[in-house]
Amino acid sequence: MAYPQDRPRRLRKSETLRRMVRETSLDAGDFIYPLFVTPGRALKRPIVSMPGVANLSVDLAVEEAKAAHALGIPSLILFGIPDEKDPTGTGAWDESGPVCAALRAIKEAVPELVLMADICLCEYTDHGHCGPLERDIRGHISVSNDATLPLLAKAAIACARSGADVIAPSDMMDGRVAAIRNGLDSNGYVDIPILSYAVKYASGFYGPFREAAQSAPKEGDRRGYQMDPANLREARREAMLDIGEGADMLMVKPALSYLDVIAELRRISDKPIAAYNVSGEYAMLKAAAQNGWIDEPRVCLELLTSMKRAGADLIITYSALEAARWLAA
């Protein structure tokens, strides 16, 4: 009986050998850790649908940032939860608000961290949409694309002034990257890069985030400006448009159902790519682990590795602290 000469199993005999020939590596330096920041002091408000995640006051966000840095995580992305909201989301560019305050405090405490500011209005509007609303002659509501752009630029400038190292617009308005780039450049922030949520789908995986950010739309939904989950060619178009407007990095959100999209962007662009391992993906992992159905460390690291294997350079994940500890064990 003839046996195959090429026997892949030869390279799987031991953990050391498997590690030596491993094609995709994952470490804490790949992670960006999201924080939800809210006004107050010594305030920690757990998010029921996201076990282990909480809305934090600035002082506790600083402590969380120190913990992330100690584990080798290089970056945070900040989301603001204001006390008051209004139709235009003015809190997004309030330099005394929670994000700007957290940027200053964390930058002072842990200057080595790369601080990213999520730029969107949905957390700050009383209606939960990503910009001011308008109605057509039939009474249908939609977000006013062009009215939103200067507001996003104002928010980006406020965050840059407060210490943000990277601006990350997530609103999915057409032309937002150019508007933000122009705003940053005209205010002297020419060296601050933009990580664009270039490919953000109208996904069902965002539910826990909307609980955390108190940002669920009160009327309508976001399918009029976020992408249809069925579309891949549109993802290429969105990515190339954002590159043309000045995006320095690209993001795909969510990650797990869109690994093919990450791979396609990796194929067509040499820009750094981030994958957002979103709240619903995190919640499913936690629920399955709490029910004893999966080995959480093993499955979590397998999922994060799949994002790297698909082509992501960076991963935004709520599992960052735990994953960093598991990788170091």
- Classify residue 69: in a domain, yes or no: yes
- Classify residue 2: in a domain, yes or no: no
The pLDDT value recorded for residue 58 is 98
CATH value at residue 201 = 3.20.20.70
Residue among 183, 181, 258, 248 nearest 226 (CA) = 258
Q: Which residue has the higher pLDDT, 155 or 4?
A: 155
- Classify residue 251: in a domain, yes or no: yes
pLDDT digits (tens, 9 = 90+) for 207-235: 888 777 666 676 667 777 889 999 999 99
How many domains, the chain?
A: 1
The pLDDT value recorded for residue 213 is 67
pLDDT at residue 138 greater than cutoff 90: no
pLDDT at residue 1 greater than cutoff 70: no
Known catalytic residues are 200, 253
| Spatial contact of 171 and 120, defined as CB atoms under 8 Å apart | yes
Output phi, psi for 178, to 5 deg. Answer: -65, -40
Q: Bridge partners of 118? A: 168
pLDDT digits (tens, 9 = 90+) for 167-221: 999 998 999 999 999 999 999 999 999 999 999 999 999 888 877 766 667 666 7
C-beta neighbour count of 146 within 10 angstroms: 12
pTM confidence score: 0.94
Lowest mean pLDDT segment, chosen from 23-37, 78-92, 268-282:
78-92
- Classify residue 3: in a domain, yes or no: no
- Classify residue 187: in a domain, yes or no: yes
Residue span of the structural domain in which 109 resides:
16-328
The pLDDT value recorded for residue 253 is 97
Three-state SS for 325? Answer: helix
- Classify residue 56: in a domain, yes or no: yes
- Classify residue 247: in a domain, yes or no: yes
- Classify residue 64: in a domain, yes or no: yes
Query: Can you read off the two tokens belonging to residue 193?
Result: 């890069």
The pLDDT value recorded for residue 220 is 67
